[in-house]
């Protein structure tokens, strides 16, 4: 199997160091609400909602918050119409960046995103300018201290996973977008807990950053994540774990 993804290691470390849990939870609730509104509140019949719930559980969003978001989204009242634009650009050292948004005002959001790029050493590009660097994949993490490679590998490959690697006591399972649901269900049916499970944009290759550029990129990402319209930020930077903490 292929080697471990540094990208996943960075995401895990960042998840442990983020202090804005309430803000992160608000974004998860927003995603669950939109999924439920568009496809109904039954997660078994709504793959997008199911994926949103799995992602939320991976970030410890309480079940009562998930249930409340679904109930509100499927209840009376239309609420504001939301769109889900994706913006593309370059960051320090030419790093490719995708900014996934959810907004009721695209004019406001695109202006905010462009401003963050411009003020943090980057530049916003046209649609398609960096999207080719990424593939839309399912990424699932399982605790290797609790479950052996033998317990997990055959199960997920049979369910449709494309790859599995193990490093730092974590099994990282990769799927195509259309087999993500089947693989997560197979793990659940086998009573194997997932540390996280989400559909994400995974880079085909990475750009190695020195500490200075890494700090610039992380500050840019922090600015994006502070914006209420931004749901997720994806990049293809290779950052040393020692450089992950902002000064």
Tell me which residue of 133, 39, 209 sits closest to 221, measured CA to CA: 209
pLDDT of residue 1: 28
Interacting residues of 126 by C-beta distance below 8 A, sequence separation 6+: 88
Q: Whole-model pTM? A: 0.84
How high is the pLDDT of residue 2?
32
State the Cα–Cα distance between residues 156 and 180, nearest whole angstrom: 10
Q: Helix 211-226 crosses helix 106-119 at what angle (to 10 degrees)? A: 160
- Per-residue pLDDT, 220: 95
Q: Rounded to an integer, what distance in angstroms lies between the CA atom of residue 234 and that of residue 26? A: 19
Domains of the chain and any CATH numbers: 6-74 (1.10.10.200), 86-126+206-240 (3.30.70.980), 133-203 (3.30.70.980)
* Residues with Cβ within 8 Å of residue 59, at least 6 apart in sequence: 15, 24, 25, 28, 196
C-alpha span between 183 and 102 (Å, rounded): 27
pLDDT at 21: 77
Q: What is the arrangement of strands in the sheet containing 86-90, beginning at the earlier edge strand?
A: 123-125, 86-90, 96-101, 230-235
Pairing of strands 96-101, 230-235: antiparallel
Neighbours of 235 (CB within 10 A): 27
Q: Provide the pairing of β-strand 170-176 with 196-203.
A: unpaired
pLDDT of residue 73: 87
Q: Per-block average pLDDT, block size 10, for the chain (247 residues)?
A: 42 52 87 91 92 91 92 73 93 96 94 97 95 95 94 95 92 95 96 94 93 93 93 91 66
Contact 198, 58 (CB under 8 A): yes
């Amino acid at each position: 199997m292929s080697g471990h993804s540094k990208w996943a290691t960075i995401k895990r470390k960042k998840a442990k160091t983020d202090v804005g849990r309430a803000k992160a939870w608000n974004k998860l609730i927003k995603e669950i609400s939109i999924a439920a509104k568009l496809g109904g509140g039954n997660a078994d019949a709504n793959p997008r909602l199911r994926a949103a719930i799995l992602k939320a559980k991976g970030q410890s969003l309480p079940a009562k918050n998930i249930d409340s978001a679904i109930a509100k989204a499927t209840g009376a009242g239309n609420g504001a119409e939301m769109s889900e634009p994706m913006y593309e650009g370059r960051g320090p050292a030419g790093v490719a960046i995708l900014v996934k948004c959810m907004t009721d005002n695209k004019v406001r959001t695109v202006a905010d995103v462009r401003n963050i790029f411009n003020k943090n050493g980057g530049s916003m590009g046209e649609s398609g300018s960096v999207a080719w660097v990424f593939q839309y994949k399912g990424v699932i993490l399982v605790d290797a201290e609790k479950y052996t490679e033998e317990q997990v590998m055959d199960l997920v490959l049979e369910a449709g996973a494309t790859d599995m690697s193990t490093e730092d006591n974590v099994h990282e399972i990769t799927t195509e977008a259309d087999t993500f649901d089947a693989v997560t269900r197979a793990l659940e049916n086998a009573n194997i807990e997932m540390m996280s499970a989400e559909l994400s944009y995974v880079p085909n290759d990475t750009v190695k950053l020195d500490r200075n550029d890494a700090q610039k990129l992380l500050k840019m990402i922090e600015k994006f994540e502070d914006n209420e319209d931004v749901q997720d930020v994806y990049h293809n930077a290779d950052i040393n774990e020692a450089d992950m903490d902002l000064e």
